[in-house]
Copies of this chain bind each other. A is one copy, B any other.
Amino acid sequence: MSDGSDSFAQIALSLASIAGEFHLHGWLMGTSGNLSAVVNRDPLHLAMSPSGVDKGELSHAQILMIDEHAQIIVIDEQGPAVSDQPAKPSDESPLHVRIAKERGAGAVLHTHSIWNTILSDLYAADGGVAIEGYEMLKGLQGVSTHLHREWLPIIENSQDMSTLANSISEVLKQHEHAHGFLLRRHGLYSWGKDLAQAKRHVEILEFLLEALGRTLMISRQTARRVDDGFGHNHR
């Protein structure tokens, strides 16, 4: 049995680096959001960001290792053991565990951006957002054409983590090809086989949600009316 401690150090550095980059984008403001990556598959051990820290200042040394019950595992010379340290993994750790298990994901990233917040509310009644026809979709794993239609399910927000975890399991089963989902007025979850792929998926979904959101601010009718005012768009 491997205790995963070597790869844990590498993964912790990568998680801190991605946290810093996403914070710069404004996707992890005010201690929001969380990040994880699988260190060991069986038993499941995740490197997990701690609760309540400023992601713009997150250090690799603050990354925790948790088991599938979201309990902290201490890494010492005798191997992992349950921790008595004061740091606390993110409250949403059970959601990361669920996604890691049900999707076989190697990394799970959760962001709170302006656009994912807005669209998660605007389309809540539809149960999800459809994104199709964009070249950018090809960056999602397994997608080979812009004609792909990505359905990003929206799940009602809750403070009950086991309710939320069960809703997520159900949605993941119903939408087996989804690359992410939105929690209403809360944020985006995406994942990948490893951290690089999960990061790519977040960047792509955030880009497409912003493109969609800004498109909603321009109706075709307005576009025509403004054309008449500012000039004519004819060859």
Contact = CB atoms under 8 A, between A and B. Distances in A.
A117 B211 contact: yes
A207 B29 contact: yes
Contacts of A207: 26, 29-30, 32, 112, 114
A1 interface: no
A163 interface: no
Interface string A129-147: 1101111100100001110
A63 to B, nearest CB: 19
B216 A223 contact: yes
Give the copy number.
4
A96 interface: no
Contacts of A127: 235
5 contacts: A30-B139, A30-B200, A31-B139, A32-B204, A121-B230
Given A145-B159, A213-B218, 11 more contacts: A29-B203, A29-B206, A30-B139, A32-B135, A54-B196, A123-B233, A130-B231, A130-B232, A215-B230, A217-B217, A219-B226
Interface of A: 21, 26, 29-32, 54, 56, 112, 114-115, 117-118, 121-123, 126-130, 132-136, 139, 144-146, 151, 157, 159, 183, 185-187, 196, 199-201, 203-204, 206-207, 210-211, 213-223, 225-226, 229-235
The 7 closest A-B pairs by CB, nearest first: A135-B186, A30-B203, A30-B204, A29-B203, A30-B139, A216-B218, A29-B207
